[in-house]
Amino acid sequence: MVGVTRTKLLAVFAAVLMLTSGTVGAVAGTAHGGSTAGGATADAATATLDGTTAADPAARPQTAGVIRGSPELSVTAPRPEVTPGRTNEVELQIINDGDMDLGTPETREVVTTARNVRLTADGGDTPFTVETGTIGLGSVTETAPREVPIAVSVPNGTEAGSYELDVELEYSYTYQQSGGVTYDRTETVDAEVELEVTEDARFRIVDVTTDAQIGDQGVLEAEIRNVGATAANDATVALESSSAGLGLGQGTSDAALIESIAPGETVTVPYDASFAATAPERKYAISGSVSFETPDGIPQVDEGLSAGVAPLGEQTFAVRDVESSLRVGEDGELRGTVTNDGPVAANNVVVQYADESGSVIPIERSTAVGTLEPGESADFTLPIAIGGEAEAGLRSLGLAVQYRNDGGEARLYDEVAVDTEVAPERDRFTVAVENRTIDAGGTRTVEVAVTNNLEETASDVEARLFADDPLDTGTTDTGYVQSLEPGETTTMTFELTTTGSATAGSTYPISLDFRYDDADGDSHLSDTYRVPIDVTESEGGGIPIPVIVVALLVIGTGGLVLYRRRQ
């Protein structure tokens, strides 16, 4: 009776253990070929008296081939300092200090690697705002910590001190492998990262200005203010341009050393700046940083400074009210008004003839007009000669304006072209004979009216008379006048004779040319001018020479006949 009772008690005890451990359900599930809880699979599961099954990894003995463990993630900020009044880049470091319960060093990574790690940060109860959303990091192993930057905005006026940022890490991992079965889990870790708003010096770019123009160089001035609570010693203020159109120093960045910047102090830091000739007229972004030492001698860097700067527009000039006295074959003048269209003053302005043409010869290639303030104008005159082979009509002439900037450096603006008329060629002098007749076989004084058709005074004007048979120049074949103003007329006197072959009623030419000096003292020889001369019968009742000759012949012949008859 006692033995039966013990047997029944053992059976009941075993049944209770099986029910409370869930082995019955596991046996039933395994028998149907299903998966175990947690996503693992097995070929078979058998119940034991202690309430465990072969499919339960926690109940398996530590035998060869079983790997068990888990990752353990933590997060930290190696540089936790943040600055009020800006969006700070905070670098978080994800560290995995995993734990392996069963396995070998070779298989450790199987169960200690955190896969598909996602990081989400939140300001929580702090005044901070995290601008970065959820970040996927992939896998994090024990041997390769991951670093991830997040953007944290800290408002102005935030008091110095420590603040805790909420960070959530989600990931999956394998917690056991045995007999070809893998058991995976997901995990969420809530952590807090301490950030510190320091009382160190902090900086802000208050303003940036420049006198540099597009296509030129100048000085860029940045106003830097210490908005922190302590002084910054041995401060290196570095600026960098993010555009190829703006150069700083000898490249795209430049730095200046400031001995000390007190709290609340604003310093103006100059930099050499230049803008490319092709740079558009707009604002250009610059970034900056300040490296300094605290009053305790601790090195610090305040990064993330930013600002924009706009160049002055390109220096331009305009030429208006253009007039000229240009004429083919003559010296003339190109006159106009040059205006400084700004944006800054131009010193030592010179207007230049900039073309290269065989038929347009600048007598003076440039003329100075002095300093021009923005909007100021000045008249100019360029003496220019037009070759005799040039064609009359409308001509486009290229001009350039040379000037010096405030730094005394020479600059050239060559985008100027003007249109002007070139008049056709004309006689430099007008020649008129007041009495163009001469008696056959006679000699007379010829008075020639000479008019200066040039636009300038002709001086040392020497005229020479030429004549061909049956005309001759006689003893006086030159004339002279000291000067002739434009449009002025003078009378020159020459001696002209006719030979015996001149026929009354015929017209013969005489020629004149002139050698003279222009207003610049250059000597010129004019073209040859031809004037007609009419030969008339001799006046005063005399018998014409041909008649006399005929009469003499008749008388001579008659005398000869009479003489022979008497013989």
pLDDT of amino acid 427:
86
pLDDT of amino acid 563:
54
Distance CA 301, CA 294 (A): 10
Tell me whether residue 435 is exposed, middle or buried, using C-beta atoms within 10 angstroms of its C-beta: 0 to 12, 13 to 18, 19 or more: exposed
Is there a cis peptide before residue 374, judged by omega within 30 degrees of 0? no
pLDDT of amino acid 564:
61
Asked if 100 contacts 142 with a C-beta cutoff of 8 angstroms, the reply is no
Q: Is 225 helix (H, G, I), strand (E, B) or coil?
A: strand
CATH architecture designation of domain 203-309: Sandwich (2.60)
CA-to-CA separations, 149 to 115, 130, 135, 144, 192, in angstroms, rounded: 19, 11, 10, 16, 16
Q: Which residues pair with 290 in a beta bridge?
A: 237, 302
Please report, to the nearest 10 degrees, the dihedral formed by the alpha carbons of residues 42, 46, 52, 56 taken in order: 0
Distance CA 83, CA 201 (A): 9
Write out the chain's pLDDT in tens, 567 residues: 434 344 444 443 444 333 333 333 332 232 233 333 344 433 333 333 233 334 444 444 445 589 999 999 999 999 998 888 788 899 999 999 999 999 999 999 999 999 999 999 999 999 999 999 999 999 999 998 999 999 999 998 888 899 999 999 999 999 999 988 999 999 999 999 999 998 788 899 999 999 999 988 899 999 999 988 899 999 999 999 989 999 999 999 999 999 999 999 999 999 999 999 889 999 999 999 999 999 989 898 888 899 999 999 889 999 999 999 999 988 889 999 999 998 999 999 999 999 988 899 999 999 999 999 999 999 999 999 998 888 999 999 999 999 998 888 899 999 899 999 999 988 889 999 988 888 888 888 899 999 999 888 999 999 999 988 898 887 888 999 999 999 999 999 999 998 777 888 889 999 999 999 988 888 989 889 999 999 888 765 444 444 454 455 656 665 555 556 555
Pairing relation of β-strands 393-404 and 346-353?
antiparallel
CATH architecture designation of domain 69-197: Sandwich (2.60)
Distance CA 235, CA 200 (A): 13
Q: Which residues contact 460 (CB under 8 A, 6 or more apart)?
A: 480, 482, 483, 515, 516, 517
Angle subtended at Cα 220 by Cα 218 and Cα 222, rounded to the nearest 5 degrees: 170
Domains 203-309 and 317-422 share a fold: yes
Q: Which helix (H) or strand (E) holds 110?
A: helix 108-112
- Strands (DSSP E) contained in 179-249 are 181-197, 203-210, 217-226, 232-241, 246-248
For 317-422, give the CATH class.
mainly beta
For residue 201, how many C-alpha atoms fall within 13 Å in the half-sphere facing its CB?
A: 33
Q: Which residues contact 35 (CB under 8 A, 6 or more apart)?
A: 29, 41
Distance of CA 210 to the CA centre of its chain: 15
Based on its alpha-carbon atoms, the radius of gyration of the chain, rounded to whole angstroms, reads 56
Take residue 325 and report the two structure tokens written for it: 């006295």
Asked if 164 contacts 58 with a C-beta cutoff of 8 angstroms, the reply is no
pLDDT of amino acid 14:
40
CATH architecture designation of domain 429-536: Sandwich (2.60)
Find tokens 């008129």 and name the residue: 432
- Domain edges within the chain: 2-59, 69-197, 203-309, 317-422, 429-536
Distance CA 343, CA 120 (A): 52
Distance of CA 436 to the CA centre of its chain: 72
Of 359, 365, 395, 360, residue with least CA distance to 380:
365
| Three-state SS sequence of 146-177 | EEEEEEEEECCCCCCEEEEEEEEEEEEEEEEE
pLDDT of amino acid 52:
37
pLDDT of amino acid 54:
40
